[in-house]
Amino acid sequence: MSWNTQILAWAAAATLGSGVALAQEMTFGGDEDQAYAADLWAVMADAKLVGEGMVRSFPYDGVAPHGMMLETFYTTASVNGHSGALVVKRNFGPEGVSIDEVLADPGKHLGAVTVMFQREDGYDPETQNWFWAKYLPDGTLDKNPKGMALAGLVGKNADVGCIACHSGEDDYLFTTDAMVGMAMK
C-alpha cells in the first residue's frame, strides 16, 4: 500500500468512527517522538554537546541542506537506559559566513542542531534504528512546512527528509564508516 493510499485508508477509517487514532500512525513528530527528543536533548545538554557552555570544535565547510559551516561530534549516549551511537551536527549560517565569524560568535550563527541517535533493537530495524531530530538552538524542535515536529523516523517512506536523503548511504552516515562499527553491537 502506498503512503498516500495508507493515509486515505486511515482517514476513511476515522470517518467511519472505528476509533483509529491518526496521530498514533504518524511516522514522526508525534507525542512520543517529541518526548523522546526532549529526553535526548537533556542528555546532550548534560554532556555539553548542546546548550549553554557547550564544547566547541573547529567548524568546517558544509553542504546543503545542513548549513554552510558545520561542527560534528561522534560519541555514545545513554537515553532512558539504552546506550547507542550519537552523532550531533551543528549547522551554522548564513551562506558565505567565514570560520572566523563563526568562531568569534558561534551563538549568533548557530541555525540548528541535527542529530542521529541509534535506538534500541526493534525501534525500526529497517532503518537501522536511527532516531532523527532537528532542533533549534534553544532545544525546541524545528518543524516541516506541514507543521510536523522533526523528530523520529523523519522522511521514512518519503521523497524528502532525513531518512530519504541519508538512505543513499549503507549505514545512513555520510561522513564516516568508523564510529558506528564501534558503537553497534
Task: Report, in Å, the least distance between residue 130 CB and ligand HEC.
Answer: 9
Task: Report, in Å, the least distance between residue 153 CB and ligand HEC.
Answer: 11
Decide whether 48 or 169 has the Cβ nearer to ligand HEC.
Answer: 169
Decide whether 52 or 170 has the Cβ nearer to ligand HEC.
Answer: 170
Beta bridge pairs of residue 91: 70, 112
Give the type of residue at 18: S
Q: Which parts of this chain interact with ligand HEC (CB under 6 A)?
A: 62-63, 65-66, 70, 72, 87, 89, 114-116, 132-134, 150, 154, 161-162, 165-166, 173-175
Nearest one of 73, 70, 65, 93 to 166, comparing CA atoms: 65
Kindly report the number of other CB atoms within 10 A of residue 120's CB atom: 13
Task: Report, in Å, the least distance between residue 23 CB and ligand HEC.
Answer: 20
Task: Report, in Å, the least distance between residue 61 CB and ligand HEC.
Answer: 8
Decide whether 62 or 137 has the Cβ nearer to ligand HEC.
Answer: 62
Q: Measured between alpha carbons, how far is 135 from 123 in angstroms, rounded to an integer?
A: 21
Decide whether 3 or 174 has the Cβ nearer to ligand HEC.
Answer: 174
Q: Measured between alpha carbons, how far is 53 from 142 in angstroms, rounded to an integer?
A: 22
Are the beta carbons of 47 and 77 closer than 8 angstroms?
yes
Task: Report, in Å, the least distance between residue 19 CB and ligand HEC.
Answer: 32
Q: Measured between alpha carbons, how far is 117 from 105 in angstroms, rounded to an integer?
A: 28
Decide whether 82 or 143 has the Cβ nearer to ligand HEC.
Answer: 143
Q: Measured between alpha carbons, how far is 12 from 72 in angstroms, rounded to an integer?
A: 44
